Amino acid sequence: MNAPAPDYDKQPWAAHYGDKFPRDLPALRHAHLPALLADTAKRFAKQVAFTTCLPNGMNGSLTYAQVDAHADTFAVYLRQVLGLQPGARVALQSPNCLAYPVVVFGILKAGCVLVNTNPLYTPAEMEHQFRDSGAQALVIVDMFADKLAGMLERTQLKKVVVVEVSQFFSPVPRAVVRGVMRWWNKTLPPIGVAHVRLPQVLAEGAKAQQRERIDVASYTQGLGPDSLAVLQYTGGTTGVSKGAMLSHGNLLHNMNQAFAMGRSHLEDGKEVILTALPLYHIFAFTFNLLCFHAAGARNVLVPSPRPIQNLQRAFDNYPVTWVSGVNTLFNALMNEEWFTAIPPRHLKAAVAGGTALQHAVAQRWQRITGTRIAEGFGLTESSPVVAFNPLHGKMKPGSIGLPVPGTEVRLVDDAGHPVAIGTRGELIVRGPQVMQGYWQRPDETAATIKDGWLYTGDVAEMDAEGYFRIVDRKKDMVLVSGFNVYPNEIEDVIARMDEVLEVAVIGVPDSATGEAVRAYVVAQGEGLNQERVRDHCRKVLTDYKIPKVVEFRKELPKTPVGKILRKDLKAEFKSRSAA
């Protein structure tokens, strides 16, 4: 199914479409992702596809041909050895490493469905996702496999495959890495469940493939754009983790949409992208993994960007041309002397998503690196990209840019009626990248997708040129004496202070005003106090937006991607107040 052409004629952003930024999406060249992967492997067979770069300098790489061959073998293992059927769910719980693309591509080539799972999940979170998805096989990194104790009998999992961060390294570097992890860092706990290691899996798959003379392409018969490819779990509208059903067509269309916005800075077969964001997150999965693999790039995988010094070897050793991140990652890099003293010389573009990019961070990044951060917007339910600042054209500070080709966007009030230009409303989306729904949750799907429109829960406004700006999440809005206050606005103001490293703003109950603004600040150095922060805010903000309390912290709670968790700060405040 190809994307219908939306009616752009009356939309302000239509004037920005042109030769470099196409108005409409092209027809899909491939019916499904495995067809794309096969073509890519042929085009770039001998080039390095992925490199795992560790902080100690140890590394390993795979070419496009090697990744493709290993993925084929893994697909045969799933279908012939395990006996999985088309559409079977296979969970993957791994940080960024060479095993990740091999397993993902193998699952897709087998005609199965990938269940992306955060490796930092607690056992309870893991069990919920495995049971909800009905996953029949699990691929898990050895560092966290001890969490499986006592869990398997309560799930449908038939087989556990264990991978390593140093998978596919040559023998000596792998032995060094394994030795350090086992004896020095002690990060390799004993695994108390029956399992098989990836090398044995690939050996069994290779034997079955040779014995039965299997054409792996036969596994994709019957697959099409509407076939389910990935279950990407998200909190959705209620906070209960749900699987967003992303089809092959959803992801292929979203790749085309991302390419449309960035092609001016992208040369097939010659890019090097640094992947510090975890690939199990939808932003890095679609943008870093799928898009840049299709473009023949070398993908430098960093298993963990924390501490931020973990990225130094990658920047030092590879000619990085692209980097994606969130606000906190860019901010942290610019507070490292090794980064500011010798900024990356080959960098073409930086892309921000996942959370609001603060204007002060964007300005400083351009000053240090000579490149701009292109901010975009998306969500799990839209594969994820909805809007983007085109790299070749006009960027607006604080804006998420323009709707990507093939996408309709509206801002609506609480009754679902469109609002006027410059007026805030909930951002709703319709396009070929919008998910099929939530896995086995028709009620949640109906509450989120209405008449084909995805209700994002984000408050935004559009200017006269068609550029959008996210104001905040509806649920994070603070109501002070009847006035709407958006934390993003206050955070952006406080972040402009040189002494501020990070900031988060929440609303808390207040007897006089209903709710009050409370700010949490991580300061650089000493000397910053509450009154200085409040005085700074008074220069820019009206009185009811000024934080009533500013609390200083050594660090703020974050997701593995680097999003600051306002909900954790709210929960902590509520707990302290009750006590």
Contacts with 292 (C-beta within 8 Å, 6 or more apart), sequence order: 271, 273, 299, 322
158 CB burial (10 A radius; 0-12, 13-18, 19+): middle
Mean pLDDT of 505-527: 90
pLDDT, tens digit (0-9, with 9 covering 90-100), for 47-96: 999 999 999 889 999 999 999 999 999 999 999 999 999 999 999 999 99
Q: With 80 as the cut, is the pLDDT of residue 438 above it?
A: yes
Q: Is the Cβ–Cβ distance between 519 and 533 less than 8 Å?
A: yes
Q: In the structure, what pLDDT confidence band is assigned to residue 475 with cuts at 50, 70 and 90?
A: confident
Identify the residue whose tokens are 């921000």: 352
Identify the residue whose tokens are 């032995």: 175
pLDDT given for residue 236 in this prediction? 45
Q: Is the Cβ–Cβ distance between 77 and 204 less than 8 Å?
A: yes
Signed CA dihedral, 70, 561, 236, 11: sign only? negative
Q: In the structure, what pLDDT confidence band is assigned to residue 2 with cuts at 50, 70 and 90?
A: very low
Prediction pTM value: 0.87
What is the pLDDT of the chain when averaged over all its residues? Answer: 92
Higher pLDDT, 489 or 115: 115
Q: Is the Cβ–Cβ distance between 195 and 161 less than 8 Å?
A: yes
Name all contacts of 259-262 with Cβ < 8 Å and 24+ positions apart. 259/291, 259/295, 260/21, 260/22, 260/25, 260/404, 260/405, 261/21, 261/374, 261/376, 261/385, 261/388, 261/389, 261/390, 261/391, 261/401, 261/404, 262/349, 262/351, 262/374, 262/388, 262/390, 262/391
Query: What CATH superfamily is the domain 477-578?
Result: ANL, C-terminal domain (3.30.300.30)
**546: closest CA among 555, 536, 556, 554?**
536
Mean pLDDT of 139-154: 96
Q: Is the Cβ–Cβ distance between 234 and 242 less than 8 Å?
A: yes
Q: Is the Cβ–Cβ distance between 399 and 375 less than 8 Å?
A: yes
3-state secondary structure (DSSP) of residue 429: strand
Q: How far is CA 188 from CA 6, 180, 218, 315, in A?
A: 52, 10, 38, 28
pLDDT given for residue 87 in this prediction? 98
Question: How far is 368 from 75, CA to CA, in rounded Å?
Answer: 45
User: 343-369: buried (b, 16+ CB within 10 Å) or exposed (e) per residue?
Assistant: bbeebbbbbbbbbbbbebbbebbeebb
pLDDT given for residue 486 in this prediction? 83
Question: How far is 189 from 323, CA to CA, in rounded Å?
Answer: 33
CA 456 centroid distance within chain: 16
Largest CA distance in the chain: 77
Question: How far is 524 from 502, CA to CA, in rounded Å?
Answer: 9
Residue by residue, what is the 3-state secondary structure of 193-254?
Answer: CCCEEHHHHHHHHHHHHHHHCCCHHHHHCCCCCCCEEEEEEECCCCCCCEEEEEEHHHHHHH
Name the percent of the chain in helix, strand, coil, to the closest 5: 35, 25, 40
Among 1-15, 210-224, 247-261, 492-506, the minimum mean pLDDT is found in 1-15
Amino acid (one-letter) located at 264? S
| DSSP state at residue 56 | T
Amino acid (one-letter) located at 372? R
pLDDT given for residue 8 in this prediction? 59
How many other CB atoms are found less than 10 A from the CB of residue 396?
15
How many other CB atoms are found less than 10 A from the CB of residue 35?
18
pLDDT given for residue 240 in this prediction? 63
**DSSP alpha helices (H): ranges in 434-559?**
442-448, 487-495, 530-538
Strand 449-450 vs strand 453-462: parallel, antiparallel, or unpaired?
antiparallel
Mean pLDDT of 352-361: 84
pLDDT given for residue 228 in this prediction? 98
Higher pLDDT, 356 or 459: 459
Higher pLDDT, 125 or 127: 127
pLDDT, tens digit (0-9, with 9 covering 90-100), for 270-281: 999 999 999 999
Question: How far is 281 from 211, CA to CA, in rounded Å?
Answer: 37
Q: H or E segment at 131?
A: helix 123-133
Q: In the structure, what pLDDT confidence band is assigned to residue 474 with cuts at 50, 70 and 90?
A: confident
Question: How far is 104 from 83, CA to CA, in rounded Å?
Answer: 18
**428: closest CA among 406, 412, 443, 444?**
412
**386: closest CA among 359, 362, 404?**
404
Domain layout of the chain by residue ranges: 477-578
Q: With 70 as the cut, is the pLDDT of residue 34 above it?
A: yes
Amino acid (one-letter) located at 324? S
Q: Is the Cβ–Cβ distance between 418 and 412 less than 8 Å?
A: yes
Q: Is the Cβ–Cβ distance between 39 and 293 less than 8 Å?
A: no
pLDDT given for residue 447 in this prediction? 93
pLDDT given for residue 7 in this prediction? 59
Q: How far is CA 393 from CA 17, 398, 401, in A?
A: 10, 15, 10
Identify the residue whose tokens are 């799990």: 380
